[in-house]
Amino acid sequence: MMNILILGSGGREHTFAYKLSQSQNCEKLFVAPGNAGTAKIARNVSISVTDFKAVKDLVLRENIEMVVVGPEDPLVEGIQNFFAEDEELRQVAVIGPSKRGALLEGSKERAKEFMALHNIPTAAYQSFTAESLEAGKAFLDTLNSPYVLKADGLAAGKGVLILENLQEAKAELENMLANKKFGKASETVVIEEFLDGIELSVFVLTDGKNYITLPTAKDYKRIGEGDTGLNTGGMGAISPVPFADKTFMDKVENRIIKPTIEGLEKEEIDYKGFVFIGLIKVGDDPFVIEYNVRMGDPETEVVLPRIESDLVEVFQKVAEGKLDEVELKVTEKAAATVVLVSGGYPENYEKGKEITGFDQVEGSHVFHAGTRLENEKTLTSGGRVLAVTSFGDDYKQALKKSYQNAEKLHFDKMYYRKDLGFDL
């Protein structure tokens, strides 16, 4: 039995809380800062995920023995190292990589170099800075449309531009490098070859040496039906991915997962946590689009519910470096989640709307994302508000159930995509 802290406040963290709270091994569960959903199954603590001093105080005060890091920011800022280097915190298990490991997400250039070094298939690329702007434009001349420009650093999911027109691509490159469109994040820009295919997410849990592959998932990033309009954090997800069959997943394992974990080991990177591999299937072959060093959101809302093993035990094995002793149990059932968002998201939207209908929901699990409690009422507090997760014999059945229950939930200007799975 141990006390556990989850850092974060989204649907991903509510799902972690839901799963961890079911474990016999979880004594007291804390979420910082959490949301209205986590408040019902854990104790929310109102501190920022990047305020390491406040996290330390909480961990010591509440005898917390395990910290599960939800989002990337604290990882990129080095929360794992902060714990490892502190006399009083050294014994605490941190589920999340070291700062060097987190660079796989924190720097697109570093991720590309890592893939090149370890022969991991990805789009051809070159990177540029303000000094090499002209060379960058010349490189664009050698490529075919569409053009892919990526800000090197974290840019809240907005740092990737895909442009049809060469002149526009050159102008945007100049904007990013010379005018710092994304601030420090675009001081370096990666320009890469456009890959045409269908995307999926593969999640790997590793102790730095051993690994287990979690169920696959596919998320829907665009706000509009038919994958149109602006990019969002994610409008829904399904698991497993029907086209990720055994033959394809064997290629993923041999060409991508194994060399990734071996690469971490060779480079002596302390990595105890999730590797989220954003993949694209081009023809029959997998290529890496990006690495993230955490679970995906909303993919977590379909991946974790399918895992039947005790997640605290699994995390303990990660911390001990004994993940080879874990045999992950996963249900055969498919899962789907539909994300309910505030009208206007991902641009401007209103907050503070009362959400009703929770008691009408049957046969789905509602994970909270942008919600907060006020005088017993659940109010919206973000763009992505709820994720309605269901099981089914296949993703279609699971989606149908989620849609039935989405209709029972209400808040002013609520919106969701009704076409998830359209491309499968």
- Interaction site with ligand GLY (CB under 6 A): 219, 234, 292, 296-297, 299
Q: Which is nearer to ligand GLY, 23 or 402 (CB)?
A: 402
Nearest distance from residue 161's CB to ligand AMP, in Å? 9
Q: Which does 51 bind (CB under 5 to 8 A by kind): ligand GLY, ligand AMP, none?
A: none
User: Can you count the helices (H) and strands (E) in the chain?
Assistant: 14, 23
Contact footprint for ligand AMP (CB under 6 A): 123, 148, 150, 160, 192-195, 199, 278, 289-290
Closest approach, Cβ 214 to ligand GLY, in A, equals 14
Which residues sit opposite 286 in a β-bridge?
281
Which residues fall within 8 angstroms of residue 3, CB to CB, at 6 or more apart?
Answer: 27, 28, 29, 30, 62, 63, 64, 65, 66
Task: Name the minimum Å distance from CB 316 to ligand GLY.
Answer: 25
If contact means CB under 5 to 8 A according to the sort of partner, which of ligand GLY, ligand AMP, none does residue 299 touch? ligand GLY
* CA dist., res. 78 & res. 98, Å (int): 6
Q: Whole-number minimum distance, CB 410 to ligand AMP, in Å?
A: 31
Are 280 and 294 in contact, with CB atoms under 8 Å apart? no
Give the nearer residue to ligand AMP in terms of CB position, either 155 or 304: 155
Q: Which residue has the tokens 């949301």?
A: 35
Which positions ≥6 away from 421 have C-beta within 8 Å? 238, 336, 395, 396, 399
* Residue 199 near which of ligand GLY, ligand AMP, none (CB within 5-8 Å, type-dependent): ligand AMP
DSSP state of 254: I
Cβ closest to ligand AMP, residue 150 vs residue 181:
150
Q: Which is nearer to ligand GLY, 74 or 296 (CB)?
A: 296
**Identity of the residue, 36 or 289, whose beta carbon is nearer to ligand AMP in the bound complex:** 289
E strand or H helix at 304, and its extent? helix 300-306
Q: What is the spatial order of strands in the sheet that 125-129 belongs to? A: 125-129, 188-192, 147-151, 160-163
Q: Which of ligand AMP, ligand GLY, none does residue 261 bind to, with CB < 5 to 8 Å depending on kind?
A: none
Least distance (Å) from ligand AMP to the CB of residue 380?
A: 26
